[in-house]
Structure 1
Amino acid sequence: MPEQRNSPWTLDTRELGRRPGLSRKFERVVEAQHALGVEGVIAVPKGARVELDVLLESVVEGVLVSGTAVAPIEGECARCLDPITAADHDVEVEFTELFAYPASITEETTDEDEVHRLVDDKVDLEPVVRDAVVLALPAAPLCQEDCAGLCPDCGGRWADLGPDHRHETIDPRWAALTERFRTDRDA
């Protein structure tokens, strides 16, 4: 894990102590260092303000971190391709993660990617929040729940076209006859 001593996402656990049962609450607003999600589809944009409400609890094997994160999201509607802007939508996620103490049984018996580790008595919340946000974001984001999407023939937004919108289609097997019997008044 890269050292992030000055990162606002990093919380120092030294004041918490190592006696199980001790806890400490943090409220912090941080800036997203990278987009959290899939850019161009749906994500918390880089530079967005992320509100964190975190509880650190000392347990036998490490520090249990639980809390919520709230952040604006931006993306594109999967049906009509209109932008989903930060002013319209927020994502709120809950997370709970164990950060193992160095030389604890948990640290010794788990792989590095299974359980987070305390590094210099600090926890880095960015990967925990990123994972929670990615799992909470919809695979097919919508600008509105009842978004009708686009007309497959002309590409217009159904919301703008109205209920009477339609396209006359002629079965391709009859198209040659239509051309043959076309009169001057049809043109």
Structure 2
Amino acid sequence: MSSKSIAEHLAQYADYHRDRRNVITHLIGIPLIVVAILILLSRPDIRLGYLILTPANLIVFAAVIFYIRLDIRLGLLMTVLLWLALTVARDVAALETSLWLSWGIGLFIIGWVFQFIGHYFEGKKPAFMDDVMGLAIGPLFVVAEVLFMLGLRQDLKNAIEKQ
């Protein structure tokens, strides 16, 4: 696990996302990519009674632990959002194989198109190219940005701006 605080992670990620157009494209692109990855990783599944295990479940479980350790309130919000994404992913994964792959790959590509358009505006490469943790911090960044836009978590916003 990382020894960085949530403010340190988000400040480092924010350095690559100063242009508002880039942030806006990320508000669309990152959720699409997260859902796409969960769709693609929702097969195969192993059924143990009522318990269904998939690679997507394991990724979400690890992400939730990471987010909760960084910040309990944001971590719990991320838990709910990832559970909703996992629910959508599970339903799409239940479709016939061609539809499952079309939705998963299609959303993944569309999400990355949004990301690269945003980074074109920014004039900087994506954060994960310098630090792979950017892939885990991206979804948290999007949720934090929405909270900041709603006037919430100003304590965290101030801590990030101090970094």
Q: TM-score range by the shorter chain?
A: under 0.3
- The normalised TM-score by structure 1 is 0.24
User: Which structure shows the bigger proportion of residues in strand conformation?
Assistant: 1
- Could you say which structure has the higher helix fraction? 2
Provide TM-score, normalisation by structure 2.
Answer: 0.26
Greater RCO, CA 8 A, separation 6+: 2
Larger Rg computed on CA atoms: 1
